[in-house]
Amino acid sequence: MTAPIVVNQQSAAAMLSVSTKTVKRWTDNGTIPSVTLGGLVRYRVADLESLVASASSNQG
């Protein structure tokens, strides 16, 4: 089975180890890009991974 290309808000929150409210806030302020598919907000896994990599490189 292949890894998903996009995930929902709950999965994004789990991947980032934050709450769904934080994911919503980051979406609203542009920290995390999102896509709307069939009226549902989804997050590209690659974008989430980039966010984590960026945060990791900024800390050290």
Asked whether residue 1 is assigned to any structural domain, the reply reads: no
Asked whether residue 37 is assigned to any structural domain, the reply reads: yes
Does residue 57 have a pLDDT over 70?
yes
pLDDT band at 3 (very low <50, low <70, confident <90, very high): confident
Asked whether residue 47 is assigned to any structural domain, the reply reads: yes
Asked whether residue 10 is assigned to any structural domain, the reply reads: yes
Question: What is the structure's pLDDT at 60?
Answer: 60
Asked whether residue 42 is assigned to any structural domain, the reply reads: yes
Listed residue (12, 51, 39) closest to 4, CA to CA: 12
* Number of structural domains the chain divides into: 1
Question: What is the structure's pLDDT at 46?
Answer: 95
Q: Express each pLDDT in 7-51 by its tens digit.
A: 999 999 999 999 999 999 999 999 999 999 999 999 999 999 999
Does residue 1 have a pLDDT over 80?
no
CATH number at residue 31: 1.10.1660.10
Listed residue (59, 57, 51) closest to 43, CA to CA: 51
The model's pTM = 0.85
Question: Which residue range is the domain that position 44 belongs to?
Answer: 6-59
CA 8/CA 19 separation, integer angstroms? 13
